Amino acid sequence: MLRRINHIAIAVPDIAAASATYRDTLGAKVSAPQSLPEHGVTVVFVELPNTKVELLEPLGDASPISAFLAKNPDGGMHHICYDVDDILAARNHLIAAGARVLGNGEPKIGAHGKPVLFLHPKDFFGTLIELEQRTVL
């Protein structure tokens, strides 16, 4: 079911400062900020040859990242995203296996314009998992 790691997401309190650190200190290519109101975040992607690092900043008071940063004010790893071939088949398999899909269980469109789902961290050893469909069916 799982393919490659799509990205590792890091919640940050200041996306401009985090972007500058990755760009200027680490020499990485960093995308422009992208606001995703339906997910409550602003994101940038640090592009690496073998994967990406997603930097997340809260967008609005209801952002799920706000609660994470309240517990981790300096930021930290928020989730890991894996590619899957068929997000609906993956969801159905996971639900049948007893895993909890967050939200209403229906995929939303993520930052790459592809369907995504999140899985409850308590079912995966404390790690929030995002699944992203590799290509749109």
Per-residue pLDDT at 136 = 62
List phi, psi (to 5°) of 135: -135, 150
What's the rounded Cα separation, in Å, for the pair 72 and 11? Answer: 9
Query: Looking at the domain that runs over 2-133, which CATH code has it been given?
Result: 3.10.180.10
By the 10 Å C-beta count (0-12 exposed, 13-18 middle, 19+ buried), 86 is classed as middle
Mark whether 47 is an active-site residue.
no
Domain boundaries, the chain: 2-133
Provide the terminal-to-terminal Cα distance of the chain, rounded to the nearest Å: 16
Cβ–Cβ under 8 Å, residues 3 and 87: no
pLDDT in tens, 20-79: 999 999 999 999 999 999 899 999 999 999 999 999 999 988 898 999 999 999 999 999
Question: For residue 75, what pLDDT is reported?
Answer: 97
Which of 54, 57, 130, 132 is catalytic? The answer is: 130
